[in-house]
Copies of this chain bind each other. A is one copy, B any other.
Amino acid sequence: MPSLNPHLLHTEETYLFAKIAEKRKRCLLDVINLGVGDVSKPPIASCIDALRNSVEEMTERSTLPGYPPNQGYRFLREKIALHEYANRFSPEEIFIGAGAKNGAADLLDLFAKGSRIGIPNPSYPVYLGASRIAGMQVLFLPCLEENNFAPTLPNEPCSLIYLCSPNNPTGHSLSKKMLESWVAYAHNHGSLLFYDAAYEGFITSGNPRSIYAIPGAEKVAIEARSFSKKGGFTNLRCSYMVIPKECRLQGVALGQLWERRCQFKFGGVPYPVQRAAESLYSSRGKKELMLQIQEYQAQAVYLRKGLLERGFSIVGGSDAPYVWCKIPPNLSSWEFFDLLLEKTGVLCIPGVGFGSHGEGFVRFSAFPEIPLLEKALTNIEREMFCAI
């Protein structure tokens, strides 16, 4: 008898961002997209040059790259080890991937079906969706406003805990003290932490950018980072994970286990994409990148200020290019989303899409540039006050 995966069959039907794309299609106004956090600025010039050069290398037999190495090219892993971690980790402990999304989902292959997985609520929908598909037991970690949206430590042991800092959607990053408590939890319960730091480049609060700021974290934590937002790679797809040599579960080195998984299930990331990622670490690339991130941060400040001035209650943190907003208590976040889209053409993300504790909030992306943000604010001011 053929047997379909019952967990996939019964996963919530629609991926949040797909549902929003559908609603967007049906909108009759010009849509101002403050929904999905997609970059609005081209990759920096260093990146473009690296792409151009590597395409030319593909034209010559002598420099033609074949199958990419599964773990990623050493030239990129060396740069990451040096520039991101001051060589505290070796290139052997860095694993290049095709996006933090894939990494977060695929890591579940390391765990037995039915393992207990801790997932912040609200958080990036991939953690929950992929855990459901894999038939895992999900334990939600409520992120409450009164606790600055930091996930609550569970009493039960978990096999794996997803931590996202700065958190998507709330924009809050975890303090050193909080991270210490998570590392202690993982040591006490023999858990693995998957530390999703896709937005670390946007931290302004002084909170740690890496879980490895905490002593002992290298034994219990995998850190994932992405070039998507920081480097404008949402299209090119490149990310990396640090799996320290000391990171072991049940006596098994997780780096080796991940490598074994990827040998059978992953084909690597194209050479031009990895050369483009490498270029972010050149001295020119670093300068260009800093300027670009500053522009995005300035946009987030502009949007936050504009929404505050228009009476919105901004409750999230400012360590991500997102603004997390409280909505009027008489509307659900989907109702607010629909009303906002219908009246103003502004697309946001309803908080409940990130988990039940996101109800009562919406997320605005600050990736679109100032003229568009300004237009969004103008439309909101004109249309929304009487509506809510």
List A residues at the B interface (Cβ < 8 Å): 1-6, 8-9, 11, 13-15, 17-18, 36, 38-43, 48, 51-52, 55, 58-61, 64-68, 70, 98-99, 101-102, 105-106, 109-115, 125-126, 129-130, 133, 135, 157-160, 189-192, 234-237, 249-250, 252, 257, 260-261, 263-273
**Given contacts A52-B55, A105-B264, are A1 and B157 in contact (CB under 8 A)?**
yes
Q: Are B8 and A66 in contact (CB under 8 A)?
A: no
Which of B4, B66, B114, B264 is within 8 Å of A234, CB to CB?
Answer: B66
Which of B36, B234, B272 is within 8 Å of A272, CB to CB?
Answer: B272
Q: Are B264 and A129 in contact (CB under 8 A)?
A: yes
Q: Are A270 and B235 in contact (CB under 8 A)?
A: yes
Q: Are B64 and A58 in contact (CB under 8 A)?
A: no
Which of B42, B105, B135, B237 is within 8 Å of A64, CB to CB?
Answer: B42
Q: Are A235 and B65 in contact (CB under 8 A)?
A: yes
User: Which residue on B lies nearest to A135, using beta carbons?
Assistant: B113
Identify 12 new A-B residue pairs, CB closer than 8 A, beyond the known A38-B66, A68-B237, A133-B261.
A2-B157, A8-B257, A15-B264, A42-B60, A42-B61, A48-B58, A101-B267, A106-B265, A129-B263, A235-B270, A235-B271, A237-B270
CA distance A235 to B54 in the complex (A): 12
CA distance A264 to B5 in the complex (A): 15
Q: Which 6 A-B pairs have the closest CB atoms?
A: A129-B264, A15-B263, A99-B267, A38-B66, A2-B159, A3-B112
